[in-house]
A = this chain, B = another copy of it.
Amino acid sequence: MKWKTAISTHKNGELYIRGEALTKLIEKRSFAEAIFLVLKGTFPNKREKEMFDAILVAPIEHGVEAPSAFVARTVASVGNPMNVALAAGFLATGDWHGGAIEQAAKMFQSDKTPAEIVSGALAKKERVSGFGHKIYKEADPRAAAIFAKAKKLKFYGKYAGRAIAIQKELEKQSGKKLPLNIDAAIAAVISELGFDWRLGKAFFALGRLPGIIAHAHEEMVNEKPYRRFEEGDVEYVGKPI
């Protein structure tokens, strides 16, 4: 099997990533700068770097209640190594948990108008990805913090505008208040920074991983094996015995 890649290569006993020597990256660059380079092929300028840090920090942790946290803990609790617990945490993300960044970014990067997007979703009785939240009914404070930084750093442009326009259309067409959430805010910013929407789920994975690690580690250190539900948590609705 043959592989073709533009990401990295070896030369004279040294690894070069997107054309940059890895040892120089270790010497001079922050983690966020190096991530930006790996994913985009160029270094961020100062404004891009600060903006990028903000969208990586925003999803960093959101409680043990989230599937990615309690699934990682459960997999650790039955006796698996750390790398496996983290993988399981990622499997417990998806279209309905962290996945909205991908769909929202795809939508923002498309040619459809906000009115078309909203009417299309309502006609199919689908949610509009990135709008509404189970916990934050009035406004998602994480989205507000991201957009505040985007305004300060001049990344509050075309895509943030589309996000706000969709929010208004949603309220107009559905009559319900479904404020834009962290996923829409991140989607708008990564679009503004020039990232492909297909990286959406990856940005969530990257940002949330530290929280998943903290949960798996807390489980390993503090808890006995092994997590299971009790019979009282279950309602049997099958054939009578």
The residues of A with any CB-CB pair to B shorter than 8 Å are: 1-11, 13-19, 22-23, 25-27, 29-32, 34-35, 38-39, 41, 52-54, 56-58, 60-67, 70-71, 73-75, 77-84, 86-88, 90-99, 102, 134-136, 141-142, 144-146, 148-149, 196, 198-202, 204-207, 209-211, 213-218, 220-223, 225-231, 233-241
Top 6 A-B residue pairs of the complex, sorted by shortest distance between their CB atoms = A79-B95, A19-B239, A6-B238, A79-B94, A87-B90, A78-B94
Docked Cα-Cα span, A237 to B80, in Å, equals 25
Output the nearest chain B residue to A68 by Cβ-Cβ distance: B78
Least CB distance, A37 to chain B, in whole angstroms = 9
A-B contact pairs, 12 of them (CB 8 A): A3-B70, A6-B218, A23-B141, A31-B35, A38-B214, A63-B234, A65-B233, A67-B74, A81-B201, A84-B84, A134-B228, A202-B213
Contact yes or no, A10 B218, CB < 8 A: no
B31 contacts A56, CB within 8 Å? yes
Contact A97 B226 (CB under 8 A): yes
- A81-B80, A91-B88 known; A65 vs B196 contact (CB < 8 Å): no
Give the chain B neighbours of A14 by CB distance below 8 A: 141
Of A26, A102, A234, most B-chain CB atoms within 10 Å: A26
B77 touches A96 (CB 8 A): yes
CB distance from A2 to the nearest CB of B (A): 6
Find out whether the CB atom of A201 lies under 8 angstroms from the CB atom of B83: yes
- In the bound complex, do residue B93 and residue A27 qualify as a contact, i.e. CB atoms below 8 Å apart? no
Task: Tell whether, in the assembled complex, residue A3 and residue B92 are in contact, meaning their CB atoms are under 8 Å apart.
Answer: no
Closest chain B residue, CB of each to CB of A85? B91
In the complex, residue of chain B having the shortest beta-carbon distance to the beta carbon of A137: B13
A96 → chain B closest CB, angstroms: 4
- Nearest B residue to A29 by beta-carbon distance? B57
What 9 additional pairs, Cβ within 8 angstroms, besides A1-B229, A19-B239? A1-B230, A5-B237, A6-B238, A7-B64, A7-B215, A27-B145, A29-B53, A66-B228, A88-B88
Also in contact, A234 and B142, with CB within 8 A (given A7-B211, A82-B199, A202-B217): no
With most chain B CB atoms within 10 A of its CB, the pick from A5, A202, A218 is: A5
